[in-house]
Structures are given as C-alpha cells and as structure tokens.
C-alpha cells in the first residue's frame, strides 16, 4: 500500500524563490526538508544541471522526500541543519550557492498522533523531531523541578502564566504521571485564568512551543547554523530563513546585522499576503529574512 503524501503546504514559495534568486546549475541546501514543497520548487529552479540537498532531523521526512521527489536533482541527509558543513563534507561538496531554512513545525508532524505535537493527540507527549535522539517531553515534564519548568515555559514560550502552569503540572503529576499530549493540554488549560474575550490562540500553544524548543534545542541549533553557514557559501551566496515566532526571528535579524558577514536583503521581514493566508492560515505567522554573503566573508 502506498504511503500517504505530505499534508504540508510550504509558506511564501514565490518570495523564497525571489529572494534566493536561484539560477540553473546552482547547488542549494534546503536545511528543513519537511513536506518537500520548497525542495521541489528549488529543484525545478536549479534544473537537471544543479543539485538540491534536502536535510531534516525527522527520519519520516527524509523517507517521504526520497519517495515523493524521486527523479529530481535532490540528495537527502538526515541531520540537524546546524551540521550542514558535515553533510557537505560527506557529499564531497566544498561550497553551495544558496541555503534555505524553514524553521517551523510541519503539518505532517502535527498530524502524526504518535509524536504529541497536536493538543488533541492521545499519543505520548514526545515533541522530538528525531524520535531517536534526546529526551521525550513527557519525561522532562514529569522529572523537572517546577521552578525549572516555569523558566523554560517563560523563556521559550514567552508565557506570562508560566509559574501557574508549572505549579499545576507539579500538582497533577503527584497523582499520576502526565504522558499524553491531550492530557498535558488539559493541565495547561486548567492552570490559565479564563479570559474575555477568549485568546486568538489555544491556551496551550506557548507552553507546547516552549517544551518543543527545549527538547529539540531549536534556538541553539539556529544560532550555530547562522554562525556556520557563511563558511560554506560560495562568494555571493545567499541565505533565506523563514521563522514562525519572535525568538527565532530575533536571532536571524541580529545575525543579518553583521555587515562583515552579510548584506541584508530584507530590512523588514517578508510576510504572507492576504490571499496566501486565506489558502494556508499557517502562513499568517511566517516571517522571511534573506541576506547575501558580504564580499570577503565566508572563508575559513
């Protein structure tokens, strides 16, 4: 039986192609393969004489991409995008012309009930992009001191009720360990005061985001990637990053301010237009920034 196709819709596709300015024959890294939508666009732009390297931490994304993008000039690697230099070394590639990072959660991951990314999931609260690496979120939730949990929820989720949520988690887990995503979401909802009018996002959104970032060390990975990618870009090479919350966007904005390394191509982030938001509500929070490698930068 054929495996299901990706449910994911890539955001800002035309804007990505415009700001990366890809030409036939180029070598491009898509550091977040996800559902493969951007990778397919990039492969079409570089043509048969070019190459796209699709990277993802999620083995399911790599398996699906290899199946659905067969026949295109794409090679795949399961890795963290902060390890792009090691991936290129393994492929005997010195430098590439363009790099794209889409630093978000894919619809395929949300739809996988065994991963716990969805508030309605009865699967374990895992939240790892690579299920073979690191500690699942349910274990972290059940072992950490309330003060440490509150710090994570506040720092990575920017959640103003972080202390209340952490205290509620500690009280609930004393009676029974928290294991599923649905149960964890209920704990959070029970900790937050009712608000009038109701908030635009689900009350558990920021806490789930915070735990996901902590479990996957997402900000650390992005920070390292922003430092390392210039060393593997060819002269005039470009990097584009799509982020979905302020912590990621802040890191990208700060990195692109370094004029010794980057010529910033987007003084303000590029956002989805009304038509795209109607077609794909997930694009509402997407922010695209792009920069070109400054003259003389990138040499190790």
Q: Which CATH number belongs to the domain containing residue 47 in this structure?
A: 3.40.50.150
Q: What is the pLDDT of residue 7?
A: 55
* 121 and 139, same domain (yes or no): yes
Using one digit for the tens of pLDDT, what is the confidence trace for 212-254? 999 999 999 999 999 999 999 999 999 999 999 899 999 999 9
* 62 and 207, same domain (yes or no): no
Look at residue 255 and tell me whether its pLDDT is greater than 50.
Answer: yes
Q: Looking at 218, 241, 272, which one is the last position of a domain? A: 218
Is residue 6, in this structure, part of any structural domain at all? no
DSSP per residue, 148-168: HHHHHHHHHH--TTHHHHHHH
Q: How far apart are CA 96 and CA 249, in angstroms?
A: 24
pLDDT above 90 as % of the chain: 79
* 57 and 198, same domain (yes or no): no
Look at residue 112 and tell me whether its pLDDT is greater than 90.
Answer: no
- What are the structure tokens assigned to 67, written together? 């199946």
* 46 and 81, same domain (yes or no): yes
Banded pLDDT at 2 (limits 50, 70, 90): very low
Is residue 283, in this structure, part of any structural domain at all? yes
* 143 and 101, same domain (yes or no): no
Find out whether 260 and 297 touch, Cβ atoms under 8 Å.
yes
Look at residue 198 and tell me whether its pLDDT is greater than 90.
Answer: no
Give the range of the structural domain holding residue 141, as residue numbers without chain letter: 112-218
Mean pLDDT on 194-208 = 85
Q: What is the pLDDT of residue 199?
A: 77
Mean pLDDT on 44-52 = 97
Is residue 163, in this structure, part of any structural domain at all? yes
* 127 and 210, same domain (yes or no): yes
Work out the mean pLDDT of the chain and round it to a whole number: 92
Look at residue 6 and tell me whether its pLDDT is greater than 60.
Answer: no
Asked which of 27-41, 44-58, 103-117, 160-174 is least confident by mean pLDDT, the reply is 103-117
Is residue 298, in this structure, part of any structural domain at all? no
Per-residue b or e along 27-50, where b marks 16 or more CB atoms closer than 10 Å to that residue's CB? bbbbbbbbbbbbbbbbbebbeeeb
* 225 and 273, same domain (yes or no): yes
Is residue 128, in this structure, part of any structural domain at all? yes
Is residue 124, in this structure, part of any structural domain at all? yes
* 120 and 207, same domain (yes or no): yes
* 189 and 239, same domain (yes or no): no
Q: Looking at 198, 218, 238, which one is the last position of a domain? A: 218
Find out whether 138 and 122 touch, Cβ atoms under 8 Å.
no
* 122 and 98, same domain (yes or no): no
Q: What is the pLDDT of residue 299?
A: 59
pLDDT above 70 as % of the chain: 96
Give me the CATH number covering residue 141: 1.10.150.170
Is residue 146, in this structure, part of any structural domain at all? yes
* Total domain count, the chain: 2
Mean pLDDT on 130-154 = 95
* 226 and 211, same domain (yes or no): no
Q: Looking at 166, 195, 218, which one is the last position of a domain? A: 218
* 82 and 152, same domain (yes or no): no
**Range from 116-125, 194-203, 284-293 that averages highest in pLDDT:** 284-293
Is residue 4, in this structure, part of any structural domain at all? no
């Amino acid at each position: 039986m054929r495996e299901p196709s990706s449910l994911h819709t890539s955001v800002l596709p035309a804007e990505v192609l415009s700001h990366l300015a890809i030409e036939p024959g180029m070598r491009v890294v898509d550091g977040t393969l996800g559902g493969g939508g951007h990778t397919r666009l990039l492969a079409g732009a570089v043509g048969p004489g070019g190459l796209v390297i699709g990277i993802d931490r999620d083995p399911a994304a790599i398996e699906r991409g290899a199946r659905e993008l067969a026949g295109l000039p794409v090679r795949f690697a399961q890795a963290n995008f902060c390890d792009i230099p090691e991936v290129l070394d393994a492929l005997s590639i010195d430098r590439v012309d363009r790099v794209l990072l889409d630093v978000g959660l894919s619809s395929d991951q949300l739809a996988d009930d065994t991963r716990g990314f969805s508030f309605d999931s009865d699967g374990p609260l895992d939240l790892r992009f690579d299920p073979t690496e690191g500690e699942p979120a349910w274990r972290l939730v059940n072992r950490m001191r309330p003060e440490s949990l509150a710090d994570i929820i506040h720092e990575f989720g920017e959640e103003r009720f972080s202390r209340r949520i952490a205290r509620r988690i500690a009280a609930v887990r004393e009676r029974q360990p928290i294991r599923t995503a649905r149960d964890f979401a209920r704990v959070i909802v029970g900790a937050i005061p009712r608000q009038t009018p109701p908030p635009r996002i689900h009350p558990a959104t920021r806490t789930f985001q915070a735990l996901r970032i902590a479990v996957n060390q997402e900000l650390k990975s992005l920070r390292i990637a922003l430092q390392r990618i210039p060393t593997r870009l060819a002269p005039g090479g470009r990097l584009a990053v799509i982020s979905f919350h302020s912590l990621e966007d802040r890191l990208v904005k700060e990195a692109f301010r370094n004029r010794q390394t980057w010529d910033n191509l987007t003084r303000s982030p590029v956002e989805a237009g009304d038509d795209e938001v109607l077609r794909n509500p997930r694009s509402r929070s997407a922010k695209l920034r792009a920069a070109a490698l400054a003259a003389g930068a990138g040499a190790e």
